[in-house]
Structure 1
Amino acid sequence: MPLLLSVIAFAAILIISQAIYNGIGPMPSSKKVSKALLNSLGDLDQNLHIVELGAGWGSLLIPIAQKYPSSTITAFENSLIPYLFCRLRLQFSPCKNVRLYRKSFYSVSLQDYDIFICYLYPGAMLRLSEKLKKEMKPSAILLSSTFHLPGYKSSHEYDLDDLYRTRIFQYKSCNFLPSHGKES
């Protein structure tokens, strides 16, 4: 029992310290949000490169991989405990089209992806916006749960009827606003 408590305490300390480092703790997407994100994508070409920026516990990653089995799904998560949990979930999942990396998506090129999916916080969205201005290809689409992408005009917004009144933002790369600070 003391060993179990020590492991739990260590995991909690690790999650908290990485939350402080990242600026936010890992928050799973609810089933309602996951379903809305997937529905907003609709029926897509099955040979796409989809990336989840911040996979967390895998609550969105696995449904994406299941809906688009012929697409390549890449996910990044830099917090150790959620990454390990997500990795474990993938081991017991039939999804074979997922590549999960324990690293920051800020440290890799994002230029080859067709679809971006994220549930980040405002500071991370600002930093991501700057990166995407340089790397997002013109035909790409970004879906964001809850937070808007500064410097871009959303092509669609969906309000969910959930506890938090979650808003889903959909962006196209061509909707970049050259005049900074004038988002809708």
Structure 2
Amino acid sequence: MRLIHWFRAAIVLGMIWLGWKMVSLGDNIPAKFEDFYPLHKSFGLVVIILVAVQLVLRVLVPTPALATGLSKFEAIAAKIAHVALYVLMIVVPVIGYSRSSTFSESDGVTLFGLKVPELLGKNDALSETLSSIHAVLAYTLLAVIVIHVLGALKHRIFDKNKNNDPLSRMI
């Protein structure tokens, strides 16, 4: 579970960077469409797969309970953040996949060169809407990640009760 967590975290952060990079490139730069978009789409599918595997593993192998020294607010916030992370790590790539499927100039989604079926028919108006939703939810995911990391660092650095340190359980 730890390995999947850190691998997925690296991929998601890489995806956010890749998304920023590819949209900042001009349409006249071939790498934008030949390299960046295909990689972004492939790693988006990898994120969905990793989250699905991790959710199955969470059912089969229960995760450790939250630290007992957390305040009620901290415990509720941690649970909400974890649910939000899982939901967004599924919804953001699914919306991106749907966006790519509906964009008339897209040649679909591939998983590192392997063509995967498109989810929806071509519809540029829907594609634009999905593109906006994908961007907003990607920034929302980034915000939840920042809160998640800051919470972990708060417990690691500032808490007097070192039993609250989630990093000691995750490293």
Q: Which has the higher strand share?
A: 1
> Would you call these one fold, judging by a TM-score over 0.5?
no
- Structure possessing the higher radius of gyration over alpha carbons: 2
Q: TM-score range by the shorter chain?
A: under 0.3
TM-score by structure 1 length? 0.23
Q: Which has the higher helix share?
A: 2
TM-score by structure 2 length? 0.24
